[in-house]
Amino acid sequence: MKKEALNIWEHAQGLLELVYARGLDQVPEMDAAAQGAELLAPFIGQPVFGGDPENQLVLTRPRLLDVGCGGAHFYHSLKKRGLLVDYFGLDSSHKMVGRARKAFEVLGLDPQRILLGAVEDLWERRFELAVVINVLTFCPDFREPLDRLVDAGVKALVIRDNFGPTTTIRWEPDGYLDEGFNHLKGYWNQWGKDEVSLFFQSRGFRTEFVLDRRTQGQVEMVVDKPYHWSWLVASRL
């Protein structure tokens, strides 16, 4: 009850309409979705023979979880590039999930592939790959979401987030929500690159930060908050 009423993502009608259009693939692909799909590509495909199968990172039709999927438009970015996965979306906003499921229905896809829930509550589900685009920043901490994904068995994660030299927790109003809801606050956190790398190393993953193609390392203001968008590719050692 409380979560839904206070969730900023439930009170942005204009964004929800855009998200639905994205889910239907009716608007141009987001730059972030394009780069995310390209970064995932090396992990999707035919198995490479000759190595230790335990350490094999190239996965045939892996189960992929799109965390904080919004309208699930990332499905289209994968499909356009011929990247064959078993796609699942997860989002904690009822309205986002409603839009994504509706778009899937219209497109003749299975709406049950869109899961409702917070990544922190992921439980008893298994995935080989995860993509987390512009989501972790809205979580109170990065550790619990990432631990749930590690526990779910993922072999590699592609993450776009506000990664900077230090961790900074911001709990502030959004300010751009529907009329009457601009008192609602959310997290707008920045995660320290070294801290996140150390976390992944301790879980048995290697990490590589990749320049964000759209923002080119420049600070971008997102609802008046400074963002250092960067990609992180984490894969099991």
Q: Which residues bind ligand SAM (CB under 6 A)?
A: 9, 30, 32, 67-70, 90-93, 96, 118-120, 133-135, 138-139
Nearest CB to ligand SAM, comparing residues 45 and 120: 120
Minimum gap (Å) between residue 187 Cβ and ligand SAM? 9
d(CA 40, CA 159): 10
d(CA 228, CA 193): 11
DSSP bridge pairs for 158: 131, 233
Nearest CB to ligand SAM, comparing residues 134 and 230: 134
CB nearest ligand SAM: which residue?
Answer: 68
Minimum gap (Å) between residue 108 Cβ and ligand SAM? 22
d(CA 154, CA 101): 24
Minimum gap (Å) between residue 197 Cβ and ligand SAM? 21
Nearest CB to ligand SAM, comparing residues 58 and 223: 223
Contact 178, 13 (CB under 8 A): yes
DSSP structure string for 88-151 = EEEES-HHHHHHHHHHHHHTT--GGGEEES-GGG--S---SEEEEES-GGGSS-SHHHHHHHHH
Nearest CB to ligand SAM, comparing residues 139 and 177: 139
Minimum gap (Å) between residue 68 Cβ and ligand SAM? 3
Nearest CB to ligand SAM, comparing residues 47 and 175: 175
Minimum gap (Å) between residue 67 Cβ and ligand SAM? 6
DSSP bridge pairs for 132: 67, 159
